Every structure is written in C-alpha cells, then in structure tokens.
Chain A
Amino acid sequence: MPILSINNLVLHFDDGKTRAIEGVDLEIEAGEFVAIVGPSGSGKSSLLNIIGTLEHPSDGEIALGNQHYSAIKDASLFRRENIGFIFQSFNLIPTLSTLDNVIVPTVGCGGDAGEYTARAESLLIQLGLRDRLGQFPGKLSGGERQRVAIARALINRPRVILADEPTGSLDSVNATQVLDILTDLVKQQSLTLIMVTHDATVSARADRIIYMRDGKIEGGATA
C-alpha cells in the first residue's frame, strides 16, 4: 500500500485564471526517494506544498497512509506529526542557536523538554555538528546550515520529508555532502523523501524521478 496517494489533484489560483496543478495522479511508496523535476512554474513546489498541507487543493484527493487530507482538522498538528520540511534558503531563525533551531518544531508540543534536547543533540552530532551546537546560524557555512535544517526536519520523527531545492543554495561540494547525509539518514530511518530539484546530479540519486510541466506530470522514471 502506498504511503502517499494523489488522485486527480487540481490547484487553481485567482478564480481559475492561474492553473498551478492540473489533474495530477501519483502514488509514492513508503521509504521511497522521489525527485520532482521540471522547469520553473511547472507546479513542483505547489505539489510539494499540497503534500505538506501548506496549500489546499482546489480539487482532487490526497491521502497520507489512511489519513485523507480533506478530513484533517488541524493541519499544523498533522504536519508536526507526519511531515518534515527542508527549504532551499534554510529558513533558520538567526537569533537562535543551532540546538534551539532544531528544537523549534517541538515548542508548544508539551512533552519532555529534556528528551527533545537530547534528541536534537543526537541528530546534530550524527550530522557532524557536535562543535556547532551553541553557534548561531550566521556563523555557520551554507552546508552546515542545511544540515541544521535537516536535523530540524527530523526532530519530530516524521513519516515524510519534503525538500524544496535543498542543495540549491550550496556549492557542489557542500551539495554532495548534504545530499549524502540526507539520503543516508532517510534510509536509516526508513523515511519517505520527496524532493523538488533542478539539479540532474541530485535527481539521479532518487529511486524515481517525476517530470512536471504546466501543472501536469509528464512522466516518471526509475533512476
């Protein structure tokens, strides 16, 4: 059974004048690494946003496991429990330390703060940032910042990681390093990774590549 099922998904803006997604059907298996590629404006990020419950589709059905999106009462809670986001521009909070940035998604969850801190430390150590726990994002390299963002995406033990151009702001050395770390972690934890990318070397690492154009899936391929 696929972890993610999308049927005839549509996303229109401006009363239908802008058609971001036009009838997308997609199924993604648990533990799969799927790269979504395509030109700018093809609907990749919109699709990612809908999967991440950041946008509501205009039509169609989408479900993560048994959870149909139309039945979700609290999208934030759903995101916190199921989805981890990694952004191109890292989106770290500049006045929080590396450790606190990783803990941010747990704020307001209740639970044991000490346990969250221990988990964040463990993730950062796994990501090679043992010496950077107290540093602020401004003192970190691009690669280090993205590793902090990866740790942040994993802190709530999500089922799916959504990454929007995670290597887009990195040089090739850092991009490769970040991608290695991300794919290793995702495999270790049996997570599903859906990544939007322009970079062919990145998409080549995926289990499957989805091509999008004009809001539609033009084809898929196993990498």
Chain B
Amino acid sequence: MNLMRFALNSLLRRPARTILTVSAIALGIAAIVALTSIAWGFEASWQKANDARGTDLIVTRTSSENTMPSPFRAEKVQVVLRTLPHVQEVVGLLSELLSVSADGPPVFVFGWLYDSYLWDHLKLSQGRWPTDDKESVVVIGALAAEMLNKKIGDHVEIEGKSFLVSGIFESNAVVENGAVIMTLAQAQLVTDKPGKVNVLNIKVDGSTNEADLRHIKQQVKQTLPGYIAITSGELVSKNAVVIISKAMSSATILIASLVGALVVFNTMLMSINERTREIGILLALGWQRITIMKLIFSEAVMLTVLGGMMGIFGGVAIAWGLEHVELMRGKIDALFSVPFFFAVLGLSVFLGICGGIYPAYKASRLLPSAALRHE
C-alpha cells in the first residue's frame, strides 16, 4: 500500500465521476492533438512539397499571403532573376484549387513548366509524362486518382476543357499526391492567365552558400520592387492559412487547458467535500498535511494523465478521420511526433497540478477534529 495505490483506489471508488472527468479531459486533449497536428501538418506538407522540388528560393509578390500567392506576369521578372549570380534555373508555377469532376471534391491543379526540374522528384507509377507543353494531358497523384476514381486513359474536365489522364505519379508530399499536374502552358490557357505564375522557383548552382542566398534576396528586393525572394519555409510560414490554423490551434490549447483545469478543480473539490471525514480520519491516524496534499495532487494528475493518454489516441483518430473526409483528402496531412505527445502529457500533468492546487490546499488545512465530526 502506497500513496499512488491509495489515490487510485479513491478514484475507482467513484467510477462514474472519474470516467466523466477523464472523458472531459480526453475530449479537450483530443481537440488539441487533432488541431495542432493538422496545423503543423498543413505547414509541413506545403514545405515538403516545395522542398521536394529542389527549389532554393521562391520569388513572389511581397504582399501575397495566400496558400498559393497571387498570380503575376513572369517574363520581365524572370529575365532579371536569370541575370543574378549563382541562379541556375528560374521556373514558373501556377496553381488553382479547382473541381475536376462533377461529383468529386476540389483538388489542387498545378501547372509546371514543361521539362523543368520541378518534375524530377515525382515517381511515375503508371503511364507517361506530357510529351510537350501543347498536349492537353494531365498526370495525377496516386491519392487524387483514388479520390477522383480515375485511371490512365480517362479524362478529367477542368474549366470546361477535357484533359486526358496520361500518367499517375507518387510524391512524398500529400499536397502533390492529391493534386492534378499539367504543363504551365496548359494551366495558363485553361485558367485564362496567359503568361502568369503564382511563384517563380529559383534553383542555384552547387557553389552557392548562405551568404550568396542572402545576397540574391537583397538583389531581388532592390531590383524588383513589389517582389520578394524567400525560402520555402519562409513562404509557408507567412502563409495566412498556416498562420490562422496555428492561431486556432493555440486558441484551442488555451481554451481546452482552461476547461481541463476547471474540470479537475471541480472534481477534486467535490471529492474532498465528500471525503472530509475520511481526510479527518487520515489526519487523526498521523497523515501529515503534505501527504494529504500529495494524495489530492496524485488523484488530480492521475485523472489528467489518463485523460491525456486517451485524448492523444482520440486526437490521432480524429485527425486520421479528417484526413480521410472526402473534402479534406489530399489537402491535409496531420503531423505527429513523439516529443509532441510527451508535451501533451506534460500539459496534462500541468493541468492536474493547476486544477488540484486549491483542493489540495483546502484538504490539507482541514482540522482533524472538525473533519471527524463531518457527516
């Protein structure tokens, strides 16, 4: 018999209340886990897509903070960029979120410059790549093929124009796996944005170091007013959707933490009110006040850790479920990590301690003689 067993016994004595409290905490933790993992996953997924293409710097409009920055005319900017030292390739990219079938969900449609390095990281699993930028064909990601129920030789209709599915590819980035890709020329044609791109991808030569990259950024700032050269990480982190989703995740953490601490506070306060006599007995039997405090904290932390563990499983399940909802497939990729789970468990312990402070103090201050008279 030790304090932990005694605390566990106290919780098991009131199973309904314990289950309700643990469930409430689990719900809050699940919301934290699901929303945070999705927010991080969203950011990581876009960054992974940009990184996978081998892009060193991205040039975009300074003020644009959309998921894909606002389109702009590329020719003049491209000419300037190609004159900068160490710049090897400057490649345009156009993207839209579009419906490609009558009953399917909207998907990302990317237009990539034909025969550019952007295509190199994709792994063709079936069919073939476009043979030139005049061909009305698309290649689709494995996940998009599944979502849209398309195979090689089928057609997809984009903005009223039919495209042959010539290939199915796989990518490490879920955003690309759930996307339809065509040549930039075809994308500009079908979206009625001739000569426009969302971003220009810059690939630098092998001798470029960090200082050179900073120099290129500075040159873009000076020679191309209204444009900015940034890394893929910077592009993603200034993305309004990423910022909003992270803010929502932070708000969820705050609200769920407050609710969790209040639930624990309420449960433990009710518990010590009901157990006033028992606490009196323990004090009479020689339990020190610090031991009573440890007991109440142990119970509170057990509730929150159990709720935290259930919440982690629940949050993973919710995120997994959301990833597989038709509308969200291929757009979000929840990111989980062991340190994150430990941080959530740490938060659970912290909530238990916060919620248990006053009840523990109150229990420890009971006068044994008065507590023993309590009915």
- A interface residues, Cβ below 8 angstroms from B: 49, 52, 54-55, 74, 76-77, 79-81, 83, 85, 87, 91, 93, 95-96, 99-100, 103-108, 113, 116-117, 152, 156
Contact = CB atoms under 8 A, between A and B. Distances in A.
Interface string B266-285: 00000000000110011111
A104 B285 contact: yes
Given A54-B369, A113-B1, A107 B284 contact: no
A65 to B, nearest CB: 17
B326 to A, nearest CB: 50
B191 interface: no
Given A107-B6, A108-B3, A108-B291, A156 B286 contact: yes
Given A54-B284, A81-B286, A107 B3 contact: yes
B252 to A, nearest CB: 37
A144 to B, nearest CB: 18
Contact of A54 (B9, B287, B372): B372
Contacts of A107: 1-3, 6, 287, 291
B288 interface: yes
Contact of B285 (A74, A85, A95, A96): A85
Of all A-B residue pairs in the complex, the 5 with the closest CB atoms, nearest first, are A80-B286, A108-B291, A105-B285, A54-B369, A76-B288
Contacts of B372: 54, 87, 91
A96 B289 CA distance: 21
B285 A108 contact: no
A91 to B, nearest CB: 5
Contact of A95 (B1, B12, B294, B369): B12
Q: Which of B282, B285, B286, B369 is packed against the most chain A CB atoms within 10 Å? A: B286
**B: contact size bracket:** 20 to 34
A35 B13 CA distance: 37
A74 B290 CA distance: 11
Interface of B: 1-3, 6, 9-10, 12-13, 277-278, 281-291, 294, 367-369, 372
A163 to B, nearest CB: 13
A104 B288 CA distance: 12
A52 B284 CA distance: 8
B1 A74 contact: no
A92 to B, nearest CB: 9
Contact of B288 (A74, A96, A152): A74
Contacts of B286: 76-77, 79-81, 83, 105, 156
Contact of A104 (B282, B368, B369): B282
A75 B325 CA distance: 62
6 contacts: A55-B369, A80-B287, A87-B372, A95-B9, A105-B287, A107-B6
Contacts of B13: 95
Contacts of A113: 1-2
Nearest to A99: B1
Given A116-B1, A152-B285, 19 more contacts: A55-B369, A76-B286, A80-B285, A80-B286, A85-B285, A87-B372, A91-B372, A93-B281, A95-B9, A95-B12, A96-B6, A99-B1, A105-B287, A107-B2, A107-B291, A108-B3, A108-B288, A117-B1, A156-B286
A152 B1 CA distance: 14
Contacts of A93: 278, 281
Given A93-B278, A95-B9, A107-B6, A100 B1 contact: yes
B302 to A, nearest CB: 15
Contacts of A100: 1
Contacts of A105: 285-287
Contacts of A83: 286
